[in-house]
Amino acid sequence: MLVLSIVGARPQFVKAAAFSPVLRRMGREFLVHTGQHYDAKMSGDFFRDLALPEPEANLGIGSGPHGQQTGAMLVALEKVALDIRPDWILIYGDTNSTLAGALVAAKLLIPLAHVEAGLRSFNRAMPEEINRVVADRLSDLLFCPTDTAVTNLRNEGITEGVHRVGDIMVDVVRTFLPAAQALGDVPGQRGLKAGEYAYLTLHRAENVDPPDRLRAILMELERLPIPVLWTVHPRTRGALERLGRWEDLQAHPTLHLVEPLGYLENLAVLRQARLLLTDSGGLQKEAAWLGTPCVTLRNETEWIETVQGGWNRLWTGGSLAAMLEATPKTLSPMPGEPAAERMGEILQAALGNR
Ligand code: UD1
């Protein structure tokens, strides 16, 4: 079995780090990095820290408007796929790299498998939502992490090839938590006390690109009564510079802005936080599995189970400080089911049945 796996952005490197070893044990993998993320802190450091195999190809596409970025990926990925003629093209999540991989597979009639299929925010203004809807429509195997994801697909008329397999992010956390714990007191190394700081990540286009929205979020963050460790994504840094807040925030008394963290440091900081504030999808779940309360800085979430179970609340305006006050200090961890082994077995079995 030869699998052409496509990654390009930070959350995909993490998932591939858990699934690649399984794929390479069961068959052969050709790992392609589209180059969507390229800074050392956003890409190379992840490959090193997570012992991800060096990609067999790096397409070096980089940033750009959606059409340009996705189009360049299509051209380059098509060449690779024609060259190696894989049994499967495997895509992760909902980025532009996911969309490009899906389109190339469909055009070349190469069977397509989608990890994290069936997630929906029902907000078509999000670029990720478009990517998911198209990727799922075109996939032959749809690996769903939740029952909600299976239901979402059924509601769109997609029932064939759908498998509820568990969540690859559970494999990720189980694989890397021991190494994260071995890092010691990561919050302390940054002048923070365990259980007494909020951990913030913010990068969604809809949160950081409109200046009014970013200003409103900043106002709430500055009113929080505890220190905030803020790992700043390059998109957000650009937005803060345009807003004229980048310089003064460097010396802020409670908001501690730092560069994007490596994955292990990220887990260590998340585990010890009083509260996670985020618009990331993966972090909402990681927080729940670690028993760290989360407030999601969005109007909706694809991970509705985290909200239903009391691990996560949506911030839809109003006082973040009041939400912090109402947050319990400890939560029991959300149960989770790993996915990698089952996904590998299903890929192999489906190949045998062709
Ligand atoms: C992308 C995904 C998003 C995912 C996120 C994870 C899409 C549409 N969005 O968003 O779903 O949650 O990755 O981080 O695919 N930049 C750098 N260095 C880098 C990468 C980006 O400076 O290594 C800057 C560039 O200015 C770029 C901007 O960040 O224009 C946005 O990058 P892009 O890859 O377009 O989207 P993300 O916001 O990272």
pLDDT in 10s for each residue of the chain, 354 residues: 999 999 999 999 999 999 999 999 999 999 999 999 999 999 999 999 999 999 999 999 999 999 999 999 999 999 999 999 999 999 999 999 999 999 999 999 999 999 999 999 999 999 999 999 999 999 999 999 999 999 999 999 999 999 999 999 999 999 999 999 999 999 999 999 999 999 999 999 999 999 999 999 999 999 999 999 999 999 999 999 999 999 999 999 999 999 999 999 999 999 999 999 999 999 999 999 999 999 999 999 999 999 999 999 999 999 999 999 999 988 999 999 999 999 999 999 999 887
Report the pLDDT value the prediction gives residue 191, as an integer from 0 to 100: 94
Angle between helices 263-272 and 168-181 (to 10 degrees): 80
Q: Which of 46, 4, 55 is nearest to 266 (CA)?
A: 46
User: What was the pLDDT predicted at 353?
Assistant: 83
Binding pocket residue ranges, ligand 1, CB within 6 Å:
9-11, 36-39, 42-43, 63, 94-96, 127-128, 203, 234-235, 238
| Token pair belonging to 152 | 């979402």
User: Measured on CA atoms in the order 36, 146, 14, 269, is the torsion positive or negative?
Assistant: positive
Residue among 6, 34, 61, 63 to mutate when testing ligand 1 (max atoms within 8 A of CB): 63
What type of residue is 231?
T
**Reported pTM:** 0.95
Options 37, 114, 203, 256, the catalytic residue: 203
- Nearest-atom index, ligand 1, CA of 96: 15
Distance 128 CA to ligand 1 centre (A): 11
8 Å CB contact between 20 and 29 = yes
Q: Does the active-site annotation cover 203? A: yes
Closest by Cα among 217, 208, 274 to 235: 208
- Which two structure tokens, joined as six digits, stand for 233? 């994504």
Q: What is the pLDDT of residue 352?
A: 85
Could you tell me where the beta strands, DSSP code E, fall in the chain?
2-7, 28-33, 57-58, 88-92, 112-115, 141-144, 162-164, 198-202, 228-232, 255-258, 275-278, 294-296, 312-314
From CA 111, how far away is CA 171, in angstroms rounded? 24
Of 165, 172, 164, nearest in space to 13 by CA:
172
> What was the pLDDT predicted at 220?
98
Sign (positive or negative) of CA dihedral 275, 280, 285, 290: negative
